[in-house]
Amino acid sequence: MKFLSFFASRLAKALVVVLGVVIINFFLIRMAPGDPAAVLAGQAGAGDPAYVEQLRVQFGLDQPVLTQLAIYLKGVAQLDLGFSYRNHVPVLDLILERLPATFLLMICAFLFSIILGVALGVVAAKARYANKRRWIDSTVMSGALLLYATPLFWLSLMGILLFSVTLGWLPAFGMETVGSKLTGMARVWDIAQHLVLPTVTLGCFFMAVYVRLTRASMLEVIGMDFVKTARAKGVPPARVIRAHVLRNALLPVITFAGIQLGQMAGGAVLTETVFAWPGIGRLMFDALLQRDYQLLLGIFLVTSIMVVAFNLITDMVYRFIDPRIAAGGKQGAAA
């Protein structure tokens, strides 16, 4: 019952956050300069004021802003995110078509960053605590700092120049080879090759954060009394690190991972644009250039739901790992 109460409380807060994001985004989009009806008329090669006014009526742009907001909120409640006048398809259909590619990129980048980041953080912490081979700790931390300070777009472009243009090892753009018509495992392998560069470049930034956080957490835990007691009892060093130190050191890492997973959705926008990855990040960029307001609002709504859902899942996982956390505890990731 306590868990259900905790989940219901977090879910209610998440819904309030999503509603607030929807309303704020709606007004921000309406404050942007430019008339989408005029843009659409210009793309159609017609500058007739009557035609522009017809488009405004067709897409509801002639209504008062509050009326437009009420109509939009009613549509969202019915899972109707509007119509993309630039692509001539419903917004929800267009987003659902691109969402799997974004999820694939985010999950691969997340797993790459957290697995490698935690592993390198453990190596650096062990080298630092043992006061031997200090160069390992210095090398790992310097590399993490360098990756953290490197702009994502620069890392992406350098990866393309080195591994695609110069060495020819990996494809540079797209999700799969155009016109290949591959099926089965051949198509899976083709997608995996296209996935390497976007995954590594997006994951390297977040990996650097996990390295530093894991190292700091382990060095804090490794000097505590219960770890010294386990060593005094003759517990093997590998088991001490795995069962006592790492398990407790991972708690702040898990909390931060939930927040970073939400931020990774924003980082995917730049990565998808550079690598021409057909996800919602690239779709958002195109919609911004085309002033496709309905599509932008739909993408903002979906990404905000993703961020809130990731934080909610993190709360559940954190509470499962550490049952000491009360329903209103401050250590869980905020929804």
Q: Do residues 10 and 108 share a domain?
A: no
Q: Do residues 243 and 180 share a domain?
A: yes
Q: Domain limits at 297?
A: 94-325
- To which residue do tokens 């008339």 refer? 35
> Which position has the higher pLDDT, 3 or 18?
18
> Residue 333: inside a domain, yes or no?
no
**Would you state the structure tokens that stand for residue 304, as one six-digit string?**
């905000």
Q: Do residues 73 and 133 share a domain?
A: no
> Which position has the higher pLDDT, 288 or 193?
193
Distance, CA of 332 to CA of 326 (rounded, Å):
9
CATH for 136: 1.10.3720.10
> Residue 1: inside a domain, yes or no?
yes
- 3-class secondary structure, 249: helix
Q: Do residues 35 and 161 share a domain?
A: no
Q: What is the DSSP letter of 80?
A: -
Give the pLDDT band of residue 7 (cuts 50, 70, 90): confident
Give the pLDDT band of residue 306 (cuts 50, 70, 90): confident
For residue 195, what are the CA distances in angstroms to 105, 151, 210, 265?
Answer: 7, 20, 22, 16
Give the helix ranges, DSSP H, for the chain: 2-31, 36-43, 49-58, 65-77, 91-130, 134-149, 152-159, 184-221, 225-232, 237-239, 247-274, 280-290, 293-321
Q: To the nearest whole number, what is the mean pLDDT of the chain?
A: 78
> Residue 334: inside a domain, yes or no?
no
Give the pLDDT band of residue 46 (cuts 50, 70, 90): low
> Residue 69: inside a domain, yes or no?
yes
pLDDT digits (tens, 9 = 90+) for 63-119: 777 887 888 888 888 888 877 777 778 888 888 888 888 888 888 888 898 889 888
Q: Do residues 133 and 23 share a domain?
A: no
Q: Domain boundary at 37, 63, 91, which? A: 91
Decide: 252 and 262 in contact? Cβ < 8 Å.
Answer: no
Q: Do residues 19 and 105 share a domain?
A: no
pLDDT digits (tens, 9 = 90+) for 215-274: 888 888 777 777 777 777 777 777 777 777 777 777 778 777 777 776 776 667 778 888
Question: pTM of the entire structure?
Answer: 0.75
Q: Which of 133, 149, 141 is nearest to 117 (CA)?
A: 141
pLDDT for position 44: 52
Q: Do residues 60 and 100 share a domain?
A: no
Q: Do residues 81 and 148 share a domain?
A: no
pLDDT for position 333: 40
Count the domains in the chain: 2
